[in-house]
Amino acid sequence: MQVSVAYGMKFVMLPPQTATRRLARSNNSGGLVIASVMQLMACLRLAHLGEILVDHLFDQPIQADAVAPAELFSGLGGIADEPLHFGRPEVARIDFDQHAVGPGFDSLLVDADTAPFDPTADAMNGNAGAINFSKISGERTRFNFTAAYKSPGFDVNDLGFMPRADVIGSNAWVQMRWEKPGRFVRTKNVNFNHWMSHNFDGDLISLGWNINSHWSFQNNWNGGFGVNANPRTFDDRRTRGGPGGDGNNSYSAWQYMSTDGRKPVRAGFEWSLGTDGHGDRWGLYPSVTLKPTAALSTEFGISLNRNIEDAQWIGNIERDGRTRFVFGRLYQTTTSMTTRVNYTLTPNLSLQVYAQPFVSAGDYGDFRELINGRATHYANRYAAFAYGANPDFRFLSFRTTNVMRWEFKPGSTLFVVWQQGRENVLPDGSFRFGRDYGDVFSTPSTNTVLVKLAYWLNP
């Protein structure tokens, strides 16, 4: 049994014009910033909190092990000894960009009683804490329970990235595991997860259950699956600083399978799907790894995602003397192709290559404005709105990183890195594979070359 406790406190003074902005984004050179952070940790490294799948964070099913929900525990430092894994990070990034809080409304919101928006504020302060109970050993069962909070105004973005404050929550994980090999199965486990959080106004902002299981077979194939259920909750960041709104009951499922990684050819396939009754999403992720020799490994993977979001926030505009909170139905297609190459030319010389073209296209329609985000019936939350602008987008990106490592003498190493980036955003929401990937590579590039030398002076 392990018990862990964490506590943090932050006090910030800054100019009124930046009081509601993230500290890390404040660029006012004349501002006074006084920050102190206090943390009390009962242990330096907490136990792995288990397969707590927090797909409510990015609205994407999560297939890998994860720790406690990031909106509760990021910014406290040292809370977990493993990073969060969200399956396909490029998909999560796009979805997170759509749901992210605007820089002016991170902690102080219009639709908040405990932390109302104050444009004249010149100081922010808050505190945070967490307590964790976990059983991290045992042949058959393990479990974890975590409770944490971050008060409104708590902001440590000068030390790292914190998704949000103003949250009180808990999560629980119970695992049943079988580690003794059988006739067909080497190991297997089943995980049960539950999470819930409120803001300081008492609004239920996350609630979910998950069951997932992972299997390793005698032929060294691996597989797993999971299902998630998320009842309706309140999104207090729905209009990025204006009134919040209720979501819908949502359900999702995912599954993966991979062949023997010891073989020259390894194949993998993953899929995910979900719905909230008004929109749907699905994803396919095939991959193959080739190891023709002990010195060469090549991995190629494709990601294809389709997302239909019935009420995606577009923007807040002033019209007829009042603010309109505009939403639209989004049809989004996101694809990427990822290549990784690891080649050991000699025991002292190696080459690593990473390359990924990426396209995400979004087509909007059925524009509406939010009229009553707390209405029980979905149809009463929005009203038709003549937006008149074109929010469609087609985001094109290419990233490659190439690293050569040469250990020219024991303890002394030369690194040469070449990075290339291409990026463009077009006001067109249609997706056509050949055209879009051709446009990716015709986009002007930015190239960076880095050289690092580490020399051992006293071998």
- 264 in a domain, yes or no? no
First to last CA, the chain: 45
Residue whose entry in the numeric block shows the structure tokens 């914190």:
162
Q: How far is CA 225 from the centre of its chain?
A: 20
Residue 360: domain span: 269-459
Tell me the per-residue pLDDT of 387-405, one tens digit each, with 9 for 90 and over: 999 999 999 999 999 999 9
Question: How, if at all, do strands 204-217 and 185-198 pair?
Answer: antiparallel
Contact in structure between 152 and 165 (CB atoms under 8 Å) = yes
Residues 199 and 276 in one domain: no
Closest CA relative to residue 267, chosen from 254, 257, 281, 275 = 257
Long-range contacts made by residues 108-112, C-beta under 8 angstroms, separation at least 24?
108/19, 108/20, 108/152, 108/153, 109/166, 109/236, 109/237, 109/241, 109/244, 110/241, 110/242, 110/243, 111/236, 111/239, 111/242, 111/243, 111/244, 112/152, 112/166, 112/199, 112/200, 112/201, 112/236
- Tokens 């239920």 map to which residue? 204
354-387 pLDDT tens trace: 999 999 999 999 999 999 999 999 999 999 999 9
Radius of gyration of the chain (CA): 24
Structure tokens at 25: 């984004």
> How do beta strands 167-178 and 2-13 pair?
unpaired
- Same domain assignment for residues 382 and 445: yes
The answer to whether residue 263 is domain-embedded is no
The top-scoring range by mean pLDDT among 156-160, 163-167, 283-287 is 283-287
The length of the chain is 459
Residue 21 shares a structural domain with residue 152: yes
Tell me the per-residue pLDDT of 260-273, one tens digit each, with 9 for 90 and over: 999 999 999 999 99
- CA–CA separation, 53 and 73 (whole Å): 15
Any domain includes 23: yes
Q: Does residue 277 share a domain with residue 236?
A: no
Say whether 267 sits in a helix, a strand or coil: strand
Are 202 and 333 in a shared domain? no
Residue 125 has what pLDDT?
85
- Please state the domain count of the chain: 2
37 plus 5 within the same structural domain: yes
100 and 61 together in one domain:
yes
For residues 172 and 277, membership in a common domain is answered with: no
Establish if 68 belongs to a structural domain. yes
> Taking Cα atoms as reference points, which of 309, 305, 256, 248 lies closest to residue 98?
309
The answer to whether residue 73 is domain-embedded is: yes
pLDDT tens digits along 62-116: 333 433 344 443 333 322 333 333 334 333 333 333 333 333 333 345 567 776 6
Quote the pLDDT of residue 101: 33
Q: Which has the minimum average pLDDT: 61-70, 158-167, 306-315, 435-444?
A: 61-70
What confidence score (pLDDT) does residue 114 get?
72
Q: Are residues 79 and 106 in the same domain?
A: yes
**253 & 162 share domain:** yes
Answer yes or no: do 233 and 310 share one domain: no
One-letter amino acid at 290 equals L
Residue range 208-261, pLDDT digits in tens: 999 999 999 999 999 999 999 999 999 999 999 899 999 999 999 999 999 999
Domain check: are 324 and 247 in the same one?
A: no
Tally of CA atoms within 13 A in the half-sphere of 275 that contains its CB: 3
Q: Is the pLDDT of residue 1 over 90?
A: no
Structural domain ending residue among the three candidates 205, 235, 258 = 258
Q: Where are the alpha helices (DSSP H) in 44-157?
A: 70-73, 89-99
**Which string of DSSP letters, residue by residue, matches 276-291?**
-SS-EEEEEEEEEEEE
Helix (H) or strand (E) holding 437: helix 433-442
- Going through 15-86 in order, the beta strands assigned E by DSSP cover 37-39
Residue that is last in its domain, among 258, 277, 304: 258
Domain boundary among 258, 285, 316: 258
